[in-house]
Chain A
Amino acid sequence: QVQLQESGPGLVKPSETLSLSCAVSGGSISSFWWTWIRQAPGKGLEWIGYISNTATTTYNPSLKSRVIILVDTSKNQVSLRLGSMTAADTAVYYCARYYSRGFDYWGQGTLVTVSS
């Protein structure tokens, strides 16, 4: 059974860079694509981007200038970096596996608050 676990700082200051990790267990990270999705409090889901099994990335155009998604196969982890954080980036951040044009396994999500 594939399991995903996000981790990172719960609080980030404005203008700083957010770094999150997603630990994947129960399967090889290098065989699949991985995505990050976020959800602002009380709002809908927003697709951030994904990374393929060949490390090709595709990002939401609205976030493209600030986001990087990486895979560390030695640690079986996917990471997200989002720069120039503002209050509008306060959200629960989810990692998920992309497979067969669906996001089939999800982490439980991690809340990130942007505040000074």
Chain B
Amino acid sequence: QSALTQPASVSGSPGQSITISCTGTSSDVGGYNYVSWYQQHPGKAPKLMIYDVSKWPSGVSTRFSGSKSGNTASLTISGLQAEDEADYYCISYTTSYTWVFGGGTKLTVL
């Protein structure tokens, strides 16, 4: 299974919105609504931000939102804040009953 494709980096200014894409195939992203997103600060464990494409776990800010179109899922962060600067990873369920991560995206808040 090949890793999902994410941009290596994105950036935005405080208050702006940014979107991170996660592109797979019909065997993973396109085949199921089982995409989740994780935020990881340096030296820390990842944190679940979105699951099932667009659902929020308890306690996660609604500034984070998810969507999907075809084989591409997206994470949008609105009202960008300094503490949003982190690495973001998507992961999708696959037709092989396994999970595959994206390569990760580094978000810089300017």
Nearest-neighbour CB distance to chain B for A104, whole angstroms, equals 5
Among A100, A106, A109, the residue within 8 A (CB) of B52 is A100
Chain B residues near A (Cβ < 8 Å)? 1, 3, 34, 36, 38, 40, 44-48, 51-52, 57, 89, 91, 93, 96-104
Chain A residues near B (Cβ < 8 Å)? 37, 44-47, 58-62, 94, 100-104, 106-109
Can you list 27 A-B contacts (CB < 8 A)? A37-B46, A44-B89, A44-B104, A45-B40, A45-B46, A45-B91, A45-B104, A46-B101, A47-B91, A47-B99, A58-B98, A60-B1, A61-B98, A94-B45, A100-B52, A101-B36, A101-B52, A102-B48, A102-B51, A102-B52, A102-B57, A103-B38, A103-B48, A106-B46, A107-B45, A108-B44, A108-B45
A47 and B45: CB pair below 8 A? Answer: no
Q: How far is the CA of A42 from the CA of B12 in the complex (A)?
A: 23
A106 contacts across to B, CB distance below 8 A: 45-47
Nearest-neighbour CB distance to chain B for A32, whole angstroms, equals 14
A61 and B1: CB pair below 8 A? Answer: yes
Q: How far is the CA of A102 from the CA of B7 in the complex (A)?
A: 22
Q: How far is the CA of A97 from the CA of B45 in the complex (A)?
A: 13
SS class, residues of chain A in contact with chain B: strand
Among A45, A94, A100, A102, the residue within 8 A (CB) of B89 is A45
Given A44-B89, A109-B45, verify A60-B98 contact (CB < 8 Å): yes
Among B38, B51, B98, the residue within 8 A (CB) of A45 is B38
